[in-house]
């Protein structure tokens, strides 16, 4: 018999609707404009760790957006002021207990703010949902070194590669510092995090993505970004945003070189984003949050499919 039932209970779907309404009320009260941007575009992200879903539309190759970021930054450059997006995003190759290829993302930007001020607003949003969550803030380097004994900013690359090899059982001799640090963090640092909300900031410069670079109090070159982990689950990723179009183009090119080296699809560069940045992207901080994961934490669920009306694969015929 064909299974037609939803993957979430009706009670969970009611809680989901309540969460979405709460988020909108929080941002509306703060005077932040909700924007509804396209999920289909001629370009996607160049990030070598993210794969966009590709579709043919009227004979043209299009990409389902993995984030509303590029469109939102064009709005910021046009003078929108503070904005937020609450809607669908898509990523290929991500399906499992914490991942669904189609998911709900909350993303917002605050002109004139840095990442630390934005972290406080994120904390306020989460505290308005469950005030009992404990809150911790820690620099990436301090946390990483406490757990692994390695200084992620200054340890020789071969030491970082060796640590990744020991943990994974495979060779990392040809892998980058960023790839090795990602593996080590996910395997030993993330599981060691305490209960509650942990805000990890000042990431290694090699993991800057779209964040500005700066020096920390110890003189290390760091990325002005943060990640939020709720009960050891990655929940949000934020940046003190890069605004230099020349540096942005350089990072796009570096991403494409990595994609080529690993045999991944070559993504077209978003020239409209670069043009908007050339006109003037205001100094701002931005953060993206996985709403389905947040609901998992609020309801103490252990599988993202339990939060979705019809999760990926639920309509497959046996």
Cβ neighbors of 285 (< 8 A, separation 6 or more) are 109, 110, 113, 114, 115, 117, 118, 238, 239, 240, 241
pLDDT of the residue at 43: 96
Q: Kindly report the CATH number assigned to the domain that includes residue 312.
A: 3.30.930.10
pLDDT of the residue at 16: 98
Q: Write the pLDDT tens digit of every residue in 11-67.
A: 999 999 999 999 999 999 999 999 999 999 999 999 998 999 999 999 999 999 999
pLDDT of the residue at 317: 53
Q: Assess if residue 203 is contained within a domain.
A: no
**DSSP sequence for 138-173:** EEHHHHHHHHHS--TTTS-HHHHHHHHHHHHSS--T
Q: Cα Rg for the chain, rounded, in angstroms?
A: 20
Q: Assess if residue 199 is contained within a domain.
A: no
> How would you list the strands of the sheet with 40-41, edge to edge?
40-41, 60-64, 53-57
Residue entry with tokens 């966009």: 52
Provide the strand spans (E) within the chain.
33-34, 40-41, 53-57, 60-64, 83-90, 102-111, 135-139, 197-204, 213-215, 221-230, 233-240, 284-290
pLDDT of the residue at 316: 66
Domain count, the chain: 1
Q: Assess if residue 246 is contained within a domain.
A: no
Selection from 235, 37, 203 nearest residue 129 by Cα = 235
Is it the case that residue 116 has pLDDT exceeding 80? yes
Q: Assess if residue 205 is contained within a domain.
A: no
Q: What is the mean pLDDT of residues 78-100?
A: 94
Is it the case that residue 314 has pLDDT exceeding 70? yes
Q: Write the pLDDT tens digit of every residue in 182-194.
A: 999 999 999 999 9
Q: Are 225 and 115 in contact (CB under 8 A)?
A: yes
Mean pLDDT of the chain: 95
Q: Assess if residue 216 is contained within a domain.
A: no
pLDDT of the residue at 102: 96
Both structure tokens of 14: 């009611």
Q: What is the mean pLDDT of residues 259-269?
A: 92
315 — pLDDT class (breaks 50, 70, 90): confident
Q: Which residues pair with 103 in a beta bridge?
A: 89
Q: Are 180 and 166 in contact (CB under 8 A)?
A: no
pLDDT of the residue at 134: 96
Q: Assess if residue 228 is contained within a domain.
A: no
Q: Assess if residue 182 is contained within a domain.
A: no
Q: Assess if residue 19 is contained within a domain.
A: yes
pLDDT of the residue at 174: 85
pLDDT of the residue at 57: 95
Q: Write the pLDDT tens digit of every residue in 131-145.
A: 999 999 999 999 999
Q: What is the mean pLDDT of residues 147-158?
A: 96
Is it the case that residue 229 has pLDDT exceeding 80? yes
Q: Which domain holds residue 28?
A: 1-133+282-318
């Amino acid at each position: 018999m064909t299974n037609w039932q939803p993957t979430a209970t009706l009670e969970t779907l009611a809680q989901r609707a309540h969460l979405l309404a709460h988020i909108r009320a929080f941002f509306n009260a703060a005077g932040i404009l909700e924007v509804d941007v396209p999920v289909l575009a001629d370009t996607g992200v160049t990030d070598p760790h993210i794969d966009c879903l590709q579709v043919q539309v009227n004979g043209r190759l299009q990409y389902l957006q993995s984030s509303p970021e590029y469109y939102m930054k064009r709005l910021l450059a046009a003078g929108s002021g503070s904005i937020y997006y609450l809607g669908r995003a898509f990523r290929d190759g991500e399906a499992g207990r914490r991942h669904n290829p189609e998911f709900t993302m909350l993303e917002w930007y605050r002109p004139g703010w840095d990442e630390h001020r934005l972290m406080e607003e994120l904390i306020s949003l989460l505290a308005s949902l469950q005030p009992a969550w404990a809150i911790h803030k820690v620099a990436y380097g301090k946390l990483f070194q406490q757990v692994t004994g390695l200084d992620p900013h200054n340890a020789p690359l071969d030491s970082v590669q060796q640590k990744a090899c020991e943990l994974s059982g495979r060779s990392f001799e040809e892998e980058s510092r960023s790839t090795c640090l990602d593996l080590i963090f996910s395997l030993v640092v993330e599981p060691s995090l305490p209960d509650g909300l942990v805000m990890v900031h000042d990431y290694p410069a090699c993991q800057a993505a779209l964040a500005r670079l700066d020096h920390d109090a110890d003189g290390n070159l760091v990325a002005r970004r943060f990640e939020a982990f709720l009960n050891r689950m990655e929940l949000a990723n934020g940046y003190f945003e890069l605004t230099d179009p020349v540096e942005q183009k350089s990072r796009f090119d570096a991403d494409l070189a990595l994609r080529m080296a690993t045999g991944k699809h070559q993504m077209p560069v978003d020239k409209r984003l670069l043009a908007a940045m050339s006109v003037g992207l205001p100094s701002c901080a931005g953060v993206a949050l996985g709403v389905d994961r947040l609901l998992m934490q609020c309801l103490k669920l252990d599988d993202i499919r339990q939060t979705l009306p019809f999760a990926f694969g639920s309509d497959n015929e046996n």
